[in-house]
Amino acid sequence: MSDKGIDRRSFLKGAAASAAAIGTHLAANSALAQTEKPSAESKDSGRPSERVIGRPGSDFMVDVIKATGIEYIASNPGSSFRSLQESIVNYGGNKKPEFLTCMHEESSVAMAHGYAKAAGKPMGMIAHGTVGLQHAAMAVYNAWCDRVPVVMFAGNFLDADKRRPGVEWYHSVQDPAALLRDFTKWDDQPVSLQHFAESVMRAYKIATTVPMGPVLITADGDLAEEAVHDEKKLRIPKLTRSIPPQGDSGAVAEAAKLLVAAEQPVIIADRACRSQEGMKRLVGLAEALNAPVVDIGGRMNFPTTHYLCRSEDRRQLIGQADVVLLLEVADPWGQFNTISDPHHEYRRFAKPDVKTIHVCLGDTLTKSNYQDMQRFMSVDLPIAGDAQATLPALAEAVKSAGGIARRVSLTDRTTKLRDDYRQMKERARTAASQGWNASPCSTARMSATLYNTIKSEKWCVAVSGVQWNRNLWPATEYFNFLGGSGGSGVGYSAPAAVGAALANRDKGIVTVSIEGDGDLMYAPGVLWTAAHHKIPLLMVVHNNRAYHQEVMHLQKMAALHNRRMDTAAIGTTIEKPNIDFAKLAQSLGVHGEGPITDPAAIAPALTRALAAVKRGEPAVVDVVSQGR
């Protein structure tokens, strides 16, 4: 459209009409004219700019999104959803949902991923149905593997007759969701606004029904840009959520019998808990059985301060176990067996006759192509049910199985269990002390110093590339640890931490992350997003100047192929030049510290960074670190 074509008067009129609508939540029955002339008195000059659309379809789409309660929409702006973006901002008042400016669609989805785990509800995201979803794909896969809801919208122009030549054709697709269908729970491409309303509600409900996962709704560009027809007929269905299913009561009783009779029972929890209440339930069960718990950490499942929390002793515990209860464990086989690398020797570390029980909904959410289902294991008692929902019944059944004598004998284990716990903690501290004064800084010192900086705050580790936090830090709250990426797709950590920090911002929880240098370089623009939206996050860069895992893979390959052992750095290290993450952060408007090579300098840098975070800003502390 040329400048000449813009009729200033009608433009202003149109703007006034939209301004009047700002903040009118659920304006579905608004009396705004649907396709109107700018004003009755203006003479029709026949110019296209005379035509304004006072109530575009995208306004109704915003009404629908508002009705879901989605508070944020993460997005890199794109023309295929320009109408929806404008409606979010001008019609919706850019509040609930608020448009978050992202610099990569992968960041948008990963932010939504981290946010959902911290907020306990999904965030929205919008992208081009073509190039945007292509960028987003890996992050969607992570969310899928991690069973985390993300409500995605895609812009598209389905009607070829209306597309402008050139880019709009490149940015149109028959079936936008095809690219993601292997790792999304559900998708739809609505062709009417009523269809849109129903599909968004369905999508939200499906995304948040356990096992949760990402969903995609196409918001057709023409549907969004054209006027709402027949407003009165439009209805936004009420959002209702499914109650998670409890495991069958007979099976639960059977499981309780096995567990109570066991001499060496072990509980393994992965994506088991969704809330503090879930943790409380798991503590209740573990105490009723006096059974050690291995928290694999897909979610925060068990307080690390509890004497039954024995995550680091997993191998030894499984080696001795006669009954193992698995709770929503993504890789059951891998808890009992392993395959060595690179020689592919099979090793089993569990007893051959160990009895297994798995409370899990994994089989109810499967697709065939991507292999996130992990290796098959014959479970003795597989219970299709939600772990958190099943725990109370299981704990009750345990309490009533076995007589008084058995209950007394279960408590006899306590002294030894407490002692084993103390020894495990002592081993962790001793291991952490090794290389304490080394430069590059040891990851244990980095972790311990971080804890010391934030220990008087309510804290959340949104992501971490090191294990020490779990082994060392006293963590009792569900919000303390958010778990990993799901699919191990690199590029997750930084945006997920920003998303989690956004969710934690209003709860007064200080969010920290231990961020890989390689991960951060995928899309460092998310730091700008954090600065722009004033999202306080304390990010420590675990800067080992390498895709460290890959260095080790190359060493293994060179040895396997009987070749020279001094070339593994080629293609795997991030040196020459070294990246200065403090400067990178500063250039994006973020408080930056480092590079820190002297371990004694970590603490003062973290203190300054925390002060920035307490002012509501993000901060990056670049610690030049050991490999792991």
Applying CB under 8 A, which of residues 186, 196, 473, 528 lies at the interface with other proteins? 473
Per partner kind, with CB cut-offs from 5 to 8 A, the member of other proteins, ligand HEC, none near residue 559 is other proteins
How would you classify the pairing of strands 72-75 and 337-339? unpaired
Per partner kind, with CB cut-offs from 5 to 8 A, the member of other proteins, ligand HEC, none near residue 449 is other proteins
Q: Residues 134 to 173: which contact ligand HEC by CB under 6 A? A: none
Min separation Cβ 309 and other proteins, Å: 13
459 near other proteins (CB under 8 A): no
472 near other proteins (CB under 8 A): yes
Which CB atom, from 163 or from 556, has the smaller least distance to other proteins? 556
* Structure token digits, residue 32: 């705004």
Residues 6+ positions from 576 with CB-CB distance below 8 Å: none
Min separation Cβ 302 and other proteins, Å: 17
**Locate tokens 């798991």: which residue?**
282
Applying CB under 8 A, which of residues 195, 552, 583, 589 lies at the interface with other proteins? 552
Name the residue among 472, 449, 542 with its Cα closest to residue 311: 472
Min separation Cβ 568 and ligand HEC, Å: 8
Min separation Cβ 556 and ligand HEC, Å: 6
Q: Residues 408 to 437: which contact other proteins by CB under 8 A? A: 425-426, 429-437
- H-type alpha helices, 216-301: 221-225, 249-261, 276-289
Which CB atom, from 367 or from 556, has the smaller least distance to ligand HEC? 556
**Locate tokens 């049910």: which residue?**
385
Q: Are 213 and 365 in contact (CB under 8 A)?
A: yes
407 near other proteins (CB under 8 A): no
Q: Are 197 and 64 in contact (CB under 8 A)?
A: yes
Rounded distance between C-alpha atoms, residue 16 and residue 54, angstroms: 10
569 near other proteins (CB under 8 A): yes
In this structure, which amino acid lies at residue 112?
A: A
Min separation Cβ 346 and other proteins, Å: 13
578 near other proteins (CB under 8 A): no
**DSSP string across 536-597:** --EEEEEE-SB-HHHHHHHHHHHHHTT--SS-TTTTTB-TTTTP-HHHHHHHTT-EEEEEE-
Q: Are 216 and 184 in contact (CB under 8 A)?
A: yes
Per partner kind, with CB cut-offs from 5 to 8 A, the member of ligand HEC, other proteins, none near residue 437 is other proteins
Applying CB under 8 A, which of residues 154, 318, 350, 444 lies at the interface with other proteins? 444
565 near other proteins (CB under 8 A): yes
Per partner kind, with CB cut-offs from 5 to 8 A, the member of other proteins, ligand HEC, none near residue 366 is none
Which CB atom, from 280 or from 553, has the smaller least distance to ligand HEC? 553
Region near other proteins per CB under 8 A, out of 6-14, 248-256, 472-480, 578-586:
472-480
Q: Residues 321 to 360: which contact other proteins by CB under 8 A? A: 340-343, 345
Per partner kind, with CB cut-offs from 5 to 8 A, the member of other proteins, ligand HEC, none near residue 562 is other proteins
Which CB atom, from 195 or from 556, has the smaller least distance to ligand HEC? 556
Give the count of beta carbons closer than 10 Å to the beta carbon of residue 505. Answer: 18
Applying CB under 6 A, which of residues 192, 555, 586, 597 lies at the interface with ligand HEC? 555
Q: What are phi and psi of 460, to 5 degrees?
A: -140, 125
Rounded distance between C-alpha atoms, residue 190 and residue 326, angstroms: 40
574 Cα distance to chain centroid: 27
292 Cα distance to chain centroid: 28
3-state secondary structure 432-498: HHCCCCCCCECHHHHHHHHHHHHCCCCEEEEEECCCHHHHHCCCCCCCCECCCCCCCCCCCHHHHHH
564 near other proteins (CB under 8 A): yes
Q: Alpha carbon of 408 to those of 174, 187, 213, 261, 402: distances in Å?
A: 66, 54, 43, 13, 10
Min separation Cβ 437 and other proteins, Å: 7
Give the count of beta carbons closer than 10 Å to the beta carbon of residue 334. Answer: 14
Min separation Cβ 552 and other proteins, Å: 6
Applying CB under 6 A, which of residues 131, 373, 384, 552 lies at the interface with ligand HEC? 552
Which CB atom, from 365 or from 431, has the smaller least distance to other proteins? 431
Binding-site string for other proteins from residue 142 to residue 181, where x marks contact by CB under 8 A and - marks none: ----------------------------------------
Which CB atom, from 410 or from 463, has the smaller least distance to other proteins? 463
Which CB atom, from 12 or from 560, has the smaller least distance to ligand HEC? 560
Query: What burial class does residue 243 get, using C-beta atoms within 10 Å of its C-beta: 0-12 exposed, 13-18 middle, 19+ buried?
Result: exposed
Q: Are 542 and 443 in contact (CB under 8 A)?
A: yes
628 near other proteins (CB under 8 A): yes
562 near other proteins (CB under 8 A): yes
392 near other proteins (CB under 8 A): no
Cβ-count burial 407-422 (b if 16+ within 10 Å, e if not): eeebeebeeebeebbe
In this structure, which amino acid lies at residue 381?
A: L
Q: What are phi and psi of 524, to 5 degrees?
A: -65, -10
549 near ligand HEC (CB under 6 A): no
Min separation Cβ 597 and other proteins, Å: 12
Strand partners, 619: 538, 591
Size of the site for other proteins (CB under 8 A): 51
Nearest residue to ligand HEC, scored by beta-carbon proximity = 552
Which CB atom, from 29 or from 430, has the smaller least distance to ligand HEC? 430
SS3 116: helix
Per partner kind, with CB cut-offs from 5 to 8 A, the member of other proteins, ligand HEC, none near residue 419 is none
Residues of this chain that interact with other proteins (CB under 8 A) are 340-343, 345, 425-426, 429-438, 440, 442-445, 448-449, 451-452, 466-468, 472-474, 546, 548, 551-552, 555-556, 558-560, 562-566, 568-569, 626-628
Residues of this chain that interact with ligand HEC (CB under 6 A) are 552, 555-556
